[in-house]
Amino acid sequence: MISEPELVGGPDFPAPTPGPALTGPLYPPPPGATPPGPPPRTRRPWLWALGGAVAASALWAGGLVAYDGDDRPDLGGYRTDRNPCEVAKLEGLGSAIGPKGSAAEEPLKADHPALFEWHCALTLAAKPVPYTLRIGYTLHRVTDPGPEFEARMADPQLSDGGDRVAGVGEIAYLGGALGDDSLRVLDGQAVLSLTLEADNWDEEKEQPIEVPELDPAAVHTYLVEDMQQLMKALKS
């Protein structure tokens, strides 16, 4: 049976204490309040992805996921003390596009008990436009990355996609979400990526630069060859 609603206030029912003032874009701050600071700076998409991985690793390190040291997976010889951008020779892409140059931006590295990641970028001194090659290297120390890698690459609804290619690693895909000139590889506990991008913007003139068309088949061949060399260089 539903009772009659009780009235709020009056001698028997004191009115509730007012709660905190509403805030947000639709509610102006109360008089005398300090205005909110500026919004955070936008970060590159892959930084957000790495930040999520680091946060998850911090949870693992805190003991939310326990594992026996004797049951850790075989890392296949992959090391964490070598900068991918330094050990990558890029003989294929370098000969076809332009010689390997300096770092294009500050590398980002995260080292946690469950996960190791290293992201870096370097330039290829081509003309009339230079190119940037981004390298990603993730080593899973606890979990098997295979099922998730295959699911993301094979299912277009998960936004990665690409064309499967043989001859490098256990599973490899060309193209997809990282761009047409990209290669992602699963090799045991390691996931690696190479992404080639043309720097097609003139900073001085503030206008786009016409980019010469590359032979897609040749670029894909060089991506696979340079990835094979990189994988060997990252192993002991």
Q: How many whole angstroms separate alpha carbon 100 and alpha carbon 96?
A: 11
Tokens of 146: 């295979």
Classify 167 as helix, strand or coil. Answer: coil
pLDDT digits (tens, 9 = 90+) for 53-68: 433 333 333 333 334 4
What is the rounded average pLDDT of the residues 108-127?
92
In three state form, how does the secondary structure of 63-95 look?
CCCCCCHHHCCCCCCECCCCCHHHHCCCHHHHH
Instruction: Identify which has the larger pLDDT, 78 or 206.
Output: 78
High-pLDDT (> 70) share of the chain, %: 67
In the numeric block, the tokens 């949870």 are attached to 59
Q: How many whole angstroms separate alpha carbon 223 and alpha carbon 196?
A: 9
User: H or E segment at 116?
Assistant: strand 115-124
Closest CA to 168 of 82, 92, 117: 92
Backbone angles phi, psi at 140, to 5 degrees: -90, 115
pLDDT digits (tens, 9 = 90+) for 22-79: 444 434 445 555 444 444 433 334 433 443 343 333 333 333 333 445 578 999 999 9
In this predicted structure, the answer to whether residue 141 has a pLDDT above a threshold of 90 is yes
